[in-house]
Chain A
Amino acid sequence: MRLLNRSVNGLAGRISRRRRGPVAGLLVLLLGLVLTGTMYAAFSPANASRTTAQADEQLIQEGRELFLVGCSFCHGQNGEGVRSDNGQLGPSLVGVGAASVDFQVGTGRMPMQQPGQQAAVKKKAYTDEETEALAAYVASLGPGPAIPEESEYTLDGLSEDERREAVVNGGQLFLTNCSACHNFEGSGGAMPQGKVALPLRDSTEKHIYEAMITGPQQMPVFADSVLGPEDKASIIAFLESTKENPDYGGFEMGGLGPVSEGMFAWLVGIGSLVGFAYWIAAHSARSKRQETSA
């Protein structure tokens, strides 16, 4: 506070020297009050929620209410899962962790519109605060992976060389572990029976990290004990680096390799050749007038 006061006094001095208006003093006083108020508002509730369990309790309660309305039909009133006549309707959420909720709800996969091979990505149904509350509630059901901190999935604080090395390692890890389904540059691919491995190019770093630790739907789990947090961060850094890669050959066409390129050659290349052939063989215009020389 002392520091703040000093700077406020300094400001007041400068203003009064220049303008010397009668309301200047009052204005400075008001400014000081507003600043102090905002600073208090910005810092104190965050500290309070971290220290007091009461706020957590409240968040979990909020999450439970949302859960009962939006999720319990499939996942059960206590997240224990619901079995329908023809197998499971919704799996148990005990132990899936906050990361799973943040991924499934935060990308719009949950709540599901209809049962199917795969939960589709769609517009988010919950706000960030509601998602946070839901995640807190589901996390309270049993221990599971937590939502990662930003420092876990970014390479901040590394030198340029270390960063480059991480991208190279990440590339190797990506090609070994991820490219089988997600394509060599993260463009996604098809899976059996209508399922798909989604493109990763538009996914946020946090959601990619969460998918690796939770294994949503058919995706295997890549736990931190197998693929360490730094390995995951380098995979994400590699994916980011592919976005900056230029396309020396011109159009990338989805980065799907020979599939889209072959399609282009067949449709556009051969198509235009056929068009030319038609034009050549088409009857040229004929005149009704008789040839003078013939």
Chain B
Amino acid sequence: MSDHQDNLPATGHTDGAHPGGHAPARVEEPIANPGMERHLPRPTDVDEAAAKRAERQVATFFVISMISAVLFCVAYFSFEVGESPDTFGRIGASNLTLGLSLGLALLCIGIGVIQWARKLMADVELSEPRHPVASSPEDRSETLAALSQGLEESGLARRPLIRNTLLGSLAMLGLPAIVALRDLGPLPDIKNTLEKTFWTPGARIVNDVTGRPLRPSDLEIGGLVNAEPEGLVEPYDGEREGIEYLEGVELLAEKGKAAVIVVRMEPEDVTEETSNWGVEGIVCYSKICTHVGCPISLWEQQTHHLLCPCHQSTFDLADKGRVVFGPAARALPQLPIEVGPDGYLVAVSDFREPVGPSYWERG
């Protein structure tokens, strides 16, 4: 047992001989141990006047801290928070004075304590040799003896019934925890939530804020509209009859998924596959990045690239929303659109694939 000590880190230069036989032989240090540097006293150690000065200095820091703490209270009551927010340049009197006084109070305590330690507290070099961390062999055998005695006295080996039922009861205690996990469910109805949006065949495309429907002629080449399906935006000029407008939580949930951007490009710049789902160079894409779902509308009208500000995924809107850069793994879903019977742009159907980031079931 005592050989274990040999595996422990070197015990420092104080003890010379090694007890074990298989430990590497001690090599002579190539450079002689220079020992401790000669101790030189600080000015405050030898000069009483300097020590007095340092003492006053430290005390001054503590007094400044006290004054700052009082100033904090004064500032708290004399300037109202939020009032006159541009007293000093564009900074409010309340914020500035509260922050400065409290900061100064804390800082001065810190500086004072450190200055005290550096200049006045005891100044001696100490060397502490390293010791093995293991307990002594006597302590270890004593502990082992106590443990085996305890095992013997409890009679666990002699009474297997008690031992087995105890193990059983501990194992069964895991069951409630597992059963409680059920509360994490039920599993979401993916078919009707993640894979569906508010878009329906014939739904009008309306401006996200004003609720104004779009005619193809409204969009100029290079134009961009942030849009939503009708029914998710309260129009400026009154609700249209026959349309159900969502409200509250439902509205937010649907609006988040259904958001689209409509852009118009030169028809000859757009690939045929893409323009099949558009009207005269007008195409409509989901506004939700397929990487982690940030809203994206940083569209460059000349390169036709759409940039996601979160992780720089870039999609080519002239080519089926293909990923041209960045971490996104899927093309941006395109919404097929056409001109409705009354001349406004409408959706042909819902998105043909789930919008937004990937999830397990999509593989």
Binding site for B on A (CB under 8 A): 169, 172-173, 176-177, 180-181, 189, 191-192, 195, 197, 215, 217-223, 225-228, 231, 246-252, 280, 284-292, 294
Residue contacts A-B, CB under 8 angstroms, 7 given: A177-B224, A218-B300, A220-B301, A222-B223, A226-B219, A248-B92, A287-B42
Name the one of A191, A228, A288, A292 contacting B300, with C-beta atoms under 8 angstroms.
Answer: A191
Q: A248-B92, A290-B41 are in contact. Are A191 and B217 (CB under 8 A)?
A: no
A284 to B214, CA, bound (A): 76
Chain B residues within an 8 Å CB radius of A287:
40-43, 45-47
- Roughly how many angstroms separate A251 CA and B141 CA in the complex, as a whole number? 66
**Is B209 in contact with A286, judged by CB distance below 8 angstroms?**
no
A-B interface, 10 closest residue pairs, ranked by CB to CB distance from nearest: A220-B224, A246-B85, A225-B218, A218-B300, A286-B40, A291-B41, A221-B223, A180-B297, A221-B222, A223-B220
Proximity bits, B19-44, A CB within 8 Å = 1, else 0: 00000000000000000000011110
Taking a contact as CB atoms under 8 Å apart, the answer to whether A284 and B118 are in contact is yes
B148 proximal to A (CB < 8 A): no
How far does the alpha carbon of A191 sit from the alpha carbon of B296 in the complex, in Å? 13
Instruction: Check A172/B209 contact, CB under 8 A, given A192-B314, A223-B223.
Output: yes
- For B112-152 the 0/1 string (1 means CB < 8 A from A) is 00100011000000000000000000000000000000000
Total A-B pairs, Cβ < 8 A = 125
Q: Do B114 and A280 have beta carbons less than 8 Å apart?
A: yes
* Bound CA span A172–B82, Å: 25
A residues less than 8 Å from B220 (CB atoms): 215, 221, 223
Q: Given the complex, which residues of A lie within 8 Å of B90, measured CB to CB?
A: 246-247, 251-252
Contact (Cβ within 8 A) A215 B209: no
- B224 with A248: CB separation less than 8 A: no
How far is A170 from B194 in the complex, measured between Cα atoms in Å?
32
Number of interface residues of B (CB under 8 A): 52
Do residues B226 and A176 form an inter-chain contact, with CB atoms below 8 A?
Answer: yes
Q: Which of B55-63, B67-75, B302-310 touches A?
A: B302-310
Query: Is B200 among interface residues, defined by CB-CB distance under 8 A?
Result: no
Interface residues of B (CB under 8 A from A): 40-43, 45-47, 82, 85-86, 90-92, 95-96, 99, 114, 118-119, 207-210, 212, 214-215, 217-226, 263, 295-303, 305, 307, 309, 312, 314, 325
Name the CB-closest residue of B to A217.
B302
Closest to A231 in B: B210
Shortest Cβ gap from B346 to chain A (Å): 17
Tell me how far the C-beta of B311 lies from the nearest C-beta in chain A, rounded to whole angstroms.
13
Measured in the bound complex, the distance between the Cα atoms of B90 and A241 in whole Å is 15
Q: Which of A189, A227, A290 counts the most B-chain CB atoms under 10 A from its CB?
A: A227
A250 touches B119 (CB 8 A): no
Q: Is the pair B92, A246 in contact by a Cβ cutoff of 8 Å?
A: yes
Tell me which residues across on chain A come within 8 A of B45, comparing CB atoms. Answer: 287, 291
| Min distance, Cβ A195 to any Cβ of chain B, angstroms | 8
Which residues on B sit within 8 Å (CB–CB) of A247? 85-86, 90-91
Instruction: Kindly provide the distance from the CB of A193 to the nearest chain B CB, expressed in whole angstroms.
Output: 9
* Interchain CB contact under 8 A, A285 and B43: yes
Chain A residues in 8 Å Cβ range of B263: 220
Q: Hey, which chain B residues are within 8 Å of A250, CB to CB?
A: 91-92, 95-96, 99
Q: Are B223 and A294 in contact (CB under 8 A)?
A: no
State the Cβ distance, A213 to closest chain B Cβ, in Å: 9
Q: Which residues of B contact A291 (CB under 8 A)?
A: 41, 45-46
Which residue of chain B is the closest to A91 with respect to CB atoms?
B302
Cβ B303 vs Cβ A218 within 8 A: yes
Asked whether, in the complex, the Cβ of A289 is within 8 Å of the Cβ of B223, the reply is no
Q: Is the CB of A223 within 8 A of B218?
A: yes
- Residues of A contacting B297 in the complex (Cβ-Cβ under 8 angstroms): 177, 180
A251 CB to nearest chain B CB (Å): 7
Please tell me which one of the listed residues B47, B207, B301 contacts residue A218 in the complex, with CB atoms under 8 A apart. Answer: B301
Query: Nearest CB to that of B210 among chain A residues?
Result: A231
B85 touches A169 (CB 8 A): no
For A252, list chain B residues within 8 Å (CB): 90
Report the separation of the CA atoms of residues A220 and B221 in the bound assembly, to the nearest whole angstrom: 9
Q: Which residue of A lies closest to B47 (CB)?
A: A287
Q: Which of B46, B86, B99, B312 contacts A289 (CB 8 A)?
A: B46
Other than the given A215-B301, A221-B221, A226-B212, 17 more pairs (CB < 8 A) read A172-B209, A176-B209, A176-B226, A191-B298, A192-B300, A215-B220, A226-B207, A228-B210, A248-B95, A249-B95, A250-B96, A250-B99, A252-B90, A285-B42, A287-B45, A287-B46, A291-B45
